[in-house]
Structure formats: C-alpha cells, structure tokens
Amino acid sequence: MDPLRSVELTFIDAVRARRILPERSKIIAAVSGGGDSVALVRLLDRFSAHMNWELSVLHVDHGIRKDSSRDAAFVRALAEGMGLPCDVHVLKPHLSGSLEDLFSRERQRIYAESASNERLVATGHTADDRAETLIMRMMEGAGPRGLGGMDYEGVGPVRRPLLDMTRKQLREYLDSLGQEWLADPTNREDDFLRNRIRHIILPACLKYLPHCFRQIVSINIGQRLGQRTCCHLYVNPAHLAQGFKHVILLVNTKSFC
C-alpha cells in the first residue's frame, strides 16, 4: 500500500476506533510548522467534509529563536491556502527554570483558553513522541501511573490522533502530497532532555534491539492483563556529561494475579 493511502487509513481508523474526534466536532489543529503537525492538519482537512468537522489552526510562537516569526508566517500561509482561520500566540519565556516545563504549561493554558465552546485541540504527537516520553519518565523515576504512556486523550480538550504513526511515515505522506514543512533547528540540539533521548538513547536501543520500538510504544503499565512491569533506566553517571552514550534498560515483569 502506498504511503498516502496507508497513513490516511491509519488516521481515520484511530479517530473512529478511539472516538477522539467525533463527527461534527469543532477542532483546533495545533500546528508548529514541523512535519508532524503539518501532516496532522492535512489529514484533518482530508476528512473534514466526511466527518463534518469545523477546522481552525492554532500556532504557538515560543519566542526562543530570533527567526521564530518565520514559522508563524509559514503556518498562516498554510492555513490560508487551505481556507482555514488561524490564530497565533506568542510566548515570552522566562530566564529561570525549565523551558520545557514552562512551554508545556503555557501550551496547555492556551489550548484550554482556545477550546472554549466545546472545541477540541488536536496535536501532532506521534509514536516516536510516545516512546520518548516513556523513556523520559523512566529516567525521572516515575511510578506505574506516570509510566502509563501518552494517551489519545490528553489533558482537557487535547486529542492525539497520530499516535499510531511514526515521524518517518508522516514525512513520506507529506512527500507524496508534495507538501513542504519546516525543520526546527532547536530539535537538532541536545540542550533538552527529550532531544538527547531522541538523538542518542532511542537510536542506541534500536541498534541492539531493532524491535524494541514497537514494545516501548505499546507499554501501558498496570493495565496489561494483570501484569506489573517494573522498568528501570540506568544511566552511568560517568557518561552523563558525554550525552548518555551508554544506557542500560532493565525490564522485570512479574505477575501479581
């Protein structure tokens, strides 16, 4: 099956099976301009007439790059070309604390404010994001609840219809459409923990355990047929400064039925 057909079927099957974006919903597509979110809005638009969706676009400018206004202009043009209204919010990041946490809180605030009048906010989180989040939570020592995995229904109005697809699949989909997207240079830097997981830890896991990705994204601790899975991610302190190049993932599964 060609990439276009495969991605479209996976998308609409997830939407229907999970009932996350019901017919006649008012949906706000959160679009950064990157490949995942551009694929999201194209897929939403592809099925909007069929599902009787009312679509609009929301862009959050995090304000950490001097050229971030370029992203906003790209998203505005994309939305205009699709005949969709577009709203842009500009953040003013503080100099102290975790920028990742700050941006996450601010996005949730904007989503909640924008989703009044029973609107839903669709985000472009993928299977890759799901795997990265799980590993991040293991590194931070999260318990079973925290290791439950990224769900199709997020906080409040947030919905994640792309969790069954990978970044690679979505970029192939965009290529088949001839659709451009933006590459965020901050995604290539290792200043953020998620980027170090994306660039170093996950590739190392896949190198030695090629099939581990599917297992990671399907983990749902405490809800898998009466089994308790205890996961421990060990990072050698001596290698911490080297960018997490050596990682040991220990998984112990014990039945408690």
**Residue 25 belongs to a domain:** yes
Window from 121-135, 188-202, 238-252 with minimum mean pLDDT: 238-252
> Do residue 74 and residue 171 come from a single domain?
yes
Residue 214 predicted with pLDDT over 60: yes
> Do residue 77 and residue 17 come from a single domain?
yes
Window from 33-37, 186-190, 229-233 with minimum mean pLDDT: 229-233
* 66 — pLDDT class (breaks 50, 70, 90): confident
| Residue that is last in its domain, among 186, 204, 238 | 186
Q: For residue 254, what pLDDT is reported?
A: 39
Rounded-to-integer distance, Cα 68 and Cα 77, Å: 15
pLDDT digits (tens, 9 = 90+) for 147-170: 556 789 998 999 999 999 998 999
- Rounded average pLDDT over 35-56: 98
> Do residue 101 and residue 179 come from a single domain?
yes
Q: Which residue has the higher pLDDT, 86 or 227?
A: 86
| Residue that is last in its domain, among 151, 186, 221 | 186
> What residue numbers bound the domain in which 49 lies?
3-125+160-186
pLDDT digits (tens, 9 = 90+) for 165-193: 998 999 999 999 999 999 866 666 655 66
> Do residue 177 and residue 213 come from a single domain?
no
> Do residue 84 and residue 14 come from a single domain?
yes
Q: Which residue has the higher pLDDT, 210 or 41?
A: 41
**Residue 207 belongs to a domain:** yes
- Rounded average pLDDT over 114-135: 87
**Residue 146 belongs to a domain:** no
Token pair of 82, please? 């699709």
Give a three-class secondary structure readout of the chain.
CCHHHHHHHHHHHHHHHHCCCCCCCEEEEECCCCHHHHHHHHHHHHHHHHHCCEEEEEEEECCCCCCHHHHHHHHHHHHHHCCCCEEEEECCCCCCCCHHHHHHHHHHHHHHHHCCCCCEEECCCCHHHHHHHHHHHHHCCCCCCHHHCCCCECCCCEECCCCCCCHHHHHHHHHHHCCCCCCCHHHHCCCCHHHHHHHHHHHHHHHHCCCHHHHHHHCCCCCECCEEEEEEEEECHHHHCCCCCCEEEEEEEEECC
> Do residue 111 and residue 235 come from a single domain?
no
Q: For residue 187, what pLDDT is reported?
A: 60
> Do residue 100 and residue 71 come from a single domain?
yes
> Do residue 178 and residue 226 come from a single domain?
no
Q: For residue 130, what pLDDT is reported?
A: 85
Window from 20-34, 211-225, 231-245 with minimum mean pLDDT: 231-245
Q: For residue 218, what pLDDT is reported?
A: 63
**Residue 147 belongs to a domain:** no
**Residue 69 belongs to a domain:** yes
Give a three-class secondary structure readout of 117-143.
CCCEEECCCCHHHHHHHHHHHHHCCCC
Token pair of 46, please? 């592809």
**Residue 108 belongs to a domain:** yes
Count of structural domains within the chain: 2
> Do residue 202 and residue 94 come from a single domain?
no
> Do residue 76 and residue 95 come from a single domain?
yes
* 59 — pLDDT class (breaks 50, 70, 90): very high
The enclosing domain of 56 has a CATH number of 3.40.50.620
**Residue 218 belongs to a domain:** yes
Q: Report the predicted TM-score, pTM, of the whole model to 2 decimal places.
A: 0.77
* 103 — pLDDT class (breaks 50, 70, 90): confident
- Rounded average pLDDT over 233-242: 43
> Do residue 172 and residue 207 come from a single domain?
no
**Residue 119 belongs to a domain:** yes
Rounded-to-integer distance, Cα 171 and Cα 247, Å: 29
> Do residue 58 and residue 112 come from a single domain?
yes
